[in-house]
Chain A
Amino acid sequence: MQGQPLLSVNQITKLYGSFPSLSDFSLTLTPGKIVALLGPNGSGKTTLLKIIAGLLVPSAGSVSILGNPPGEEARNLVAYLPDRISVPGWMSSNRAIDYFADFFRDFDRPKAEKMLADLGIPLDKPLGKLSKGMREKVQLSLVMSRNAKLYLLDEPISGVDPAAREYILRTILTCHSPDSTILISTHLIADVEEVIDEFVFIRDGRLLCYDSADEARKREGKTVDEMFREAFRC
């Protein structure tokens, strides 16, 4: 866990009414890592990702991405894949590529076009006329075609078929560079087990554990999936 912090989450609390979705949560991530954000439903994973992306304002605490608070400059550094389809249905894949290329200076158009071709997505059909799975693939391709410093992926593989899942995980690995970090929230731990460098366990909005995957496996003699099942057994 050495090097210049890419992401600093400092004592974040998020209240929905009087219910705390996150409580005094702190986390520091360095560049060049793939980090799994793991926790049961309602543990605060999506809330945390939204706060880092700047879609939610924390009730207390602060976030900084390479020293920038969530805002215009930070949005240039962060690529966020939400847990829903955000690209409007009236846009075709081609138009969506234009959109990303117009606004994000780190967007790699040839990479996006290649990914969409590999996934067999028609480029000129409005996204509203594609299946949900296809739209998710388009969205993921667009987000992963950015050369961002921090990728926030909220359940990127939950809605796609196993074949596409493999392609997506390969893509995540390909996109990963020494100066960028990927924070990936998922329930499908077994699928990401092989690609992650670190993992974060989160329960009831609190940090339960943040560890190196290799070190934890050696130390505990278990996979991350097994450790998760043990930690969150009902």
Chain B
Amino acid sequence: MLKKLLKYDYLSLRRFLIPLYSLTPVLALLAGLLSWIAAKSDYFLVYLGLQSIYWFSVVALVLSAALLPVLLVVNYYKGMYSDAGYLTLLLPVKRRQLLFSKLLCTVIFLVAYIVVAFFSFGFAFFAGTAAAAGHNPFYAYVIVFTMIGDFLTTAPINAVLLVIEGLLYLFVLLILEFSNYYFGVTLGAVVFQGKGKIWGGILFCVVTDVAVSTLLSLVNLAVSGGILAGGADLSSFESAATLQVFLILGIVLRLGVAVLVNFFNIRMTEKKLNLG
């Protein structure tokens, strides 16, 4: 059943995310090329004109990135608690499968967007700087990949571990973030039954996310304060290993919090929800 749920969640997200994902590199290419040409231009008016269009493209690019979480939250709300909820919530599947499918699909799409954004934003922002320094427009990527290559050559195990840890951390962060949002949307639907559910959902999205983030920041602060108060020398191998352990514990903690948030979300859709 999970496979089928994932299929329809993918189809539901694909219809507006694929255009957004296509728009991002197009805008980035436009912005990068404009700043590249502007950097090479000797004419002030041409420079000014190109720069203006460049900034317009950059703003559009940033807005399209900022729009993504909003679109995901609204899509979740519509699929669960608006009219479509009369179909979704009556499927003969477990509520946890329903929520897990939506969350997993969201995170996969977000990871895909991060890849798209990495290549798009790098070009949009650094093509002009590279041109001014006499390099090709893709010079920022050359630097990044050279650094990765060097790291892989000199310390391959550390590099691989770092990449795995980094990806895991990113994945868990996204899961936690959207677990908070989706829990907030459900809370909004339960509290504001009928009227103003979407705005209530968005309000609770923010409240839940701020509450969970604050709690985790306090835990982080206490742990890192404890390490420093213990007189740790951060340049030593032992301290670096200790930090690694705390990093992994941080990932586990966030995953645990995400599981807890989702547990409450599932319970609420089972016991408290009134689709009016």
Contacts and interface: CB of A to CB of B under 8 A. Distances in A.
A76 B85 CA distance: 17
Interface residues of A, number: 26
Interface centre among B4, B15, B85, B92 (most CB of A within 10 A): B92
A57 interface: yes
A167 interface: no
Contacts of A75: 90-92
Contacts, number: 61
Interface in B52-97: 78-79, 83-87, 89-94
A90 B86 contact: no
A50 B83 contact: no
B84 A76 contact: no
B91 A103 contact: yes
Contacts of A87: 84, 87
B8 A86 contact: no
Contact of B15 (A56, A76, A90, A102): A90
Contacts of A102: 4, 7-8
Contacts of A78: 90
B8 A57 contact: no
Given A57-B271, A57-B273, A76-B92, A103 B4 contact: yes
Interface string B84-121: 11110111111000000000000000000000000000
23 contacts: A50-B275, A50-B276, A55-B275, A57-B274, A75-B92, A80-B86, A82-B83, A84-B83, A84-B86, A86-B83, A86-B85, A86-B86, A86-B87, A87-B87, A88-B12, A88-B84, A88-B87, A90-B11, A99-B8, A103-B4, A103-B92, A104-B92, A105-B92
Interface of B: 1, 4, 7-8, 11-12, 15, 78-79, 83-87, 89-94, 271-276
Interface of A: 16, 50, 53-57, 72-73, 75-76, 78, 80, 82, 84-88, 90, 95, 99, 102-105
